[in-house]
Structure 1
Amino acid sequence: MKTAFVFGLSPWKSFISSWLPHSKVFRRHKPVSWMEFHCLWVPRILISSSPEVFVWGYKHPPFVEDFCRRRKIPFIRIEDGFIRSVALGATKAPPLSLCFDSPVLYYDPSAQSQLENILQTYDFAADSALLLRARRGIERLVGTRLSKYNTSQDVKIESIYGLKDRKRILVIGQVEDDMSILKGCERRMDNNDLVRIAAQENPGAHIIYKPHPEVLYGTRAARSRPEDIKDIAQVLDQDIALADAFETIDHVYTITSLSGFEALIRGIKVTCLGMPFYAGWGLTDDRQQCPRRSAQRTVEEIFAAAYLLYPKYFDPEQKKMITFEEALELLHSMRRAAAA
């Protein structure tokens, strides 16, 4: 049996033990000091059977990673997967999917993540069954109108956008101090910068700015003022489902948001100012480059890698690992129950 040492996960993320059923799990949810780590935890790690160290994202002291690298102990980062819940992560809702990666997570292009490695090297042409699952998965994901978070109410988008009489651009806002931007974008920018770029590059177009749900609900702070760009864009002030927001849209602008990939699976053109996992494979208008990404990939292949091969899925009620398809149906039933 392996031994998992989990550092820095909030107390409410105790669910992590269920995700590691074949490991003996030790958790330290409070920040660990250099002294405590080296005096208390290092001896335990060194005498353990097949030790592995887990952290959430990049929320860890550098000395933990340094120790693992020197001792050649697996150091694994955890992050939410791409279909998560019917509530925001900040509300402490347990996730249906998680990603486990090393040395970096999928949103960090500074080195090759496991997801990038799959996309660069996997022989998709030889795996027709996987591509069939991907095509069906895309159809089902679009058909159920699900996304990563599923907090919003469905709307009639014409009542918000108005009649379409010109090119329509959707700008996807993000939490501006989120690690996916800090790691995934070489150029420092905020959401207002992104709106201004979209407006400048598309004169005369109808620019629509969709703030991130966590900013709209006040669970994460905004670093820019939407009021400052109301002269060039329509700013959405309610949490509109992405499935509705994408209707009648010709082009999406994003920094690194997963929403950009959700636009791609709907056949919408996407411009990326940063380097999200789906950029660099020949499908997006990229303003940042990653020379390692030399393969040309289809939407189905990227979906297969990101939704079928890369994450793990877990049923929080039945306490068991499940497939993507089972997770999607579970999420669909949870959303219908929440709406009812």
Structure 2
Amino acid sequence: MCTAFVFGLSPWKTFIRYWIPHRKLYRRNRSVSWLEFRIFWVPRILASVSPQVYVWGYSHPAFIEHFCSRHSVPFTRIEDGFIRSVGLGATKTPPLSLCFDSPVLYYDPAAPSGLERILLTYDFSADPKLLCRARAGMDLLIGTRLSKYNISRDVDIQRIYGPKDDRKRILVIGQVEDDMSILKGCERRMDNNDLVRIAAQENPDAHIIYKPHPEVLHGTRPAKSRPEAVKSIAQVLDQDISLADAFETIDHVYTMTSLSGFEALIRGIKVTCLGMPFYAGWGLTDDRQECPRRSVKRTVEEVFAAAYILYPKYFHPKLNKMITFEEALKLLHSMKRTATG
């Protein structure tokens, strides 16, 4: 039996024991000091049969990764998948999907992630059934109006945006500005207000709409920039509206690294990326940052198949068993209907 050692998870993430089955599992919540790791954990790891080390994202001391590298101990990072829950992670809602990857996660372009390797090497032309699943999955995602978190209620978007005139309408997607996807995925340091200013500068006659991140609007994560500072050049949304509504009548989306940019792509909306998210660099987006490794062209269906079907794992939180992407989407739709009445 393999032995799993998990470091850096918040105490409430007890669900992880179900995602790493058939292993003896040890957990050390939050941070661990070098002295504790050296005295207590190193001997236990080295004495274990087939040890494996797991960490949450990049929230771990560097010495853990260095130790694993020196002793050839498999080292795996864990992160939420792209179909997560009806609720924010900050509200301690368990995820329906997780990604397990090494040496980097999908939002870190410093090295090839597992998702990038799939997109570089998978022969999609030899797997028409997978592409059919991808197209059906995209249609289902759009048709059910589902997204990553699914906590927003539907609104009359025309009342908020106003009637669509001849001007180009641009949606700027705000993010949590100290999020690891920005810290890892953007060569140039910027905040949400910088992104709004770039969109306005490049499109002087457009109707610019700025959508702050849901966790900022709900107060579960702090804002690093003040939305009020860009109200003179953009319409700032002060309520958390669903992405399905937010994308209505939008011609162009600006983002740093947000998954929302890919959700715009599957709807046929042009996307400009200031950073290097997993869906950039494949010929689908207007990219302001380069990743020379991404040397092939991919279709939206192929990127969707890789990111939503091949790359993550899905898990039923009540039945405690692995499920398919389609089953997860059906479950999420049911959970959203229950939550919204």
Same fold (TM over 0.5): yes
Moved more, 20-29 or 135-144: 20-29
- Partner-residue secondary structure (3-state), 1:186: coil
Gaps of 5+ in 2: none
Work out the number of aligned pairs and report it: 340
CA distance in 2, matches of 1:41, 1:338: 42
Amino acid at match of 1:21: P
**Normalization by structure 1: what TM-score?**
0.99
- Partner-residue secondary structure (3-state), 1:45: helix
CA distance in 2, matches of 1:159, 1:319: 43
CA distance in 2, matches of 1:236, 1:178: 21
Shift of 1:83: 0.6
Shift of 1:30: 3.6
CA distance in 2, matches of 1:19, 1:155: 36
Q: Which residue of 1 aligns with 2:18?
A: 18
Question: What aligned pairs does 1:1-340 form with structure 2 within 5 A after superposition?
Answer: 1-165=1-165, 166-340=167-341
- Partner-residue secondary structure (3-state), 2:27: strand
Q: Deviations over 1:292-312 (max 9, x none)?
A: 000100000000000000000
Q: Deviations over 1:83-121 (max 9, x none)?
A: 100000000000000000000000000000000000011
Shift of 1:39: 1.0
Amino acid at match of 1:168: R
Q: Deviations over 1:30-63 (max 9, x none)?
A: 4211111111111111111111100000000111
CA distance in 1, matches of 2:188, 2:35: 36
Amino acid at match of 2:125: A
CA distance in 1, matches of 2:330, 2:49: 37
CA distance in 1, matches of 2:63, 2:189: 27
CA distance in 2, matches of 1:50, 1:148: 34
Moved >3 Å (runs of 4+): none
**Normalization by structure 2: what TM-score?**
0.99
Q: Identical aligned pairs, as a percentage? A: 79
CA distance in 1, matches of 2:216, 2:169: 23
CA distance in 2, matches of 1:6, 1:322: 23
- Partner-residue secondary structure (3-state), 1:12: coil
